[in-house]
Chains A and B, each alone.
Chain A
Amino acid sequence: MEALKQELKSKIIEVLNLEDIAIEDINDNDPLFGDGLGLDSIDALELIVLLDKEYGIRLADPKQGKAIFESIETMAAYIAENRTK
């Protein structure tokens, strides 16, 4: 699980082009959207594609993302349970 969380942090930084942020800066339970990392609705769409491309999880409804992407912790848990890749 730890490895997955680290992997997620690294991929998020890459895919969302978060130039000034390092893996150490992202805490597992920090909110990703709104106050924490400050991601927005476009980033949510990017993360949905990330889930599909890297882990084979396809979300039918973008609104599902809200709960899944709450934090690295929730993301990792969801992926661990649903990944097909």
Chain B
Amino acid sequence: MKVAITGMGIISSIGNTVEENFHSLVSLKTGLSTISNIETIHKDIIKVGEIKLTNEQLAKQLNLPSDNNYSRTALLGAIAAKQAVENAKISDMNAYKSGLISATSVGGMDMTEKYYYEYFENEACQKYITSHDIGDNSQKIANCIGLKGMVTTISTACSSAANAIMLGARLIQSGELDRVVVGGTDALAKFTINGFKTLMILSDDYNAPFDNNRKGLNLGEAAAFLVLESETIVKNENKEVLAYVAGFGNANDAFHQTASSENGDGAFLAMNKAFKMAKIQPGEIDYINAHGTATPNNDLSEGRAIIRIFGENVPDFSSTKPFTGHTLAAAAGIEAVYSILAIQNNIIFPNLNFKTNMEEFNLTPQLTLKEKEIHHVLSNSFGFGGNCSTLIFSKN
């Protein structure tokens, strides 16, 4: 049973709204740059997808009092969630059984790392102690959209937002909820920047997914949320449906804590599950928005899994991470928005920075903007801990 998407909101390094993001995508304008907002020794070396707004500016946009204790993750999440709710033309959040399923990996770590020792000397910053907690971040987002109902959060690294969308869809399908805001948010932080650096998968250049000479990923920050609503609400309120969540699947690679298996077992299983649920054939997919982080490991593993599913007939595919960087728990959320934009505008966004085919197989991503009729989009997101998720979005 398909689930209707009636609203979306996004803030990323390529735009503060859905329109701005779309404009950047079709203008081939990347959001990658060097870091401005964070004091780190890697400042001038690595490229990231940073949102060039300070926390103060974000808080102002939300009309928060100056003594608020929102982490950057919560600020971004609240902005995107509010946009989505507005886009879905919701006037009373609690008029139906409603919920929020958020996703994050950073939570309030951006504040925790700032005040690690200072907490013990300066009482004024202690208000951020409780903002570290992931649940607290989601609660703040719920407050900003006036939601009193079911609120929970998923944290499965880079597949988190996809999983949030899945749970949301499941809750609507089962009748447990009528309306649910789903998505994810992650801010840049020294913790993650340094963490990925220790894994030696950060590139000092612009990330080039599926390229033979790819050197690794660029991190990014973003937040994106969708509003899913039941058929009843869509009918009663004559809602415009942007697209449908037609199918989804989650599987575990069970291979290694961070690396993906050579043949992409987890990815293959996830995609299979999604097709089974959507009741469509691989041949009906018009566009794949790949996870495509440009790490040596992911692109090989994902590429192999795609070939296992699609055989000789791999549809047009691209990774949009050269635009935004890898936004971790928010990635699947922003890529859901991009998948919906692809459907709405019948357009495929290119895989930037690609030059040379990978030796291991014959897969060339879509390199230019391409207009074509799009009915079904498949979106992949794979996270640490072997967590593999696939979503299928459909026009009708």
Contact = CB atoms under 8 A, between A and B. Distances in A.
Decide if A and B touch, CB cutoff 8 A.
Answer: yes
Interface stretch (A13-21, A31-39, A41-49, A70-78): A41-49
A22 to B, nearest CB: 27
Interface in A42-65: 42, 45, 48-49, 62
B27 interface: no
* Chain A interface, DSSP helix/strand/loop, else mixed: helix
B151 interface: no
B259 to A, nearest CB: 7
A49 B198 contact: yes
A41 B297 CA distance: 12
B199 interface: yes
B7 to A, nearest CB: 42
A48 B198 CA distance: 10
B257 to A, nearest CB: 7
A2 to B, nearest CB: 31
B200 A42 contact: no
B373 to A, nearest CB: 44
Contacts of B37: none
B258 interface: yes
A41 B259 contact: yes
A62 B257 CA distance: 18
Contacts of B199: 45
* Chain B interface, DSSP helix/strand/loop, else mixed: loop
Contacts of B198: 45, 49
A50 to B, nearest CB: 12
Nearest to B257: A42
Contacts of A48: 200
Contacts of A62: 200
A41 B198 CA distance: 12
Contacts of B257: 42
Contacts of A41: 256, 259
Contacts of A42: 257-258
A45 B259 contact: no
B196 to A, nearest CB: 12
Interface in B232-278: 256-259
Contacts of A49: 198
Contacts of B259: 41
A41 B201 CA distance: 13
A65 B198 CA distance: 14
B82 to A, nearest CB: 40
B365 to A, nearest CB: 25
Pairs A-B, 7 closest by C-beta atoms:
A62-B200, A45-B200, A45-B198, A45-B199, A41-B259, A49-B198, A42-B257
11 contacts: A40-B256, A41-B256, A41-B259, A42-B257, A42-B258, A45-B198, A45-B199, A45-B200, A48-B200, A49-B198, A62-B200
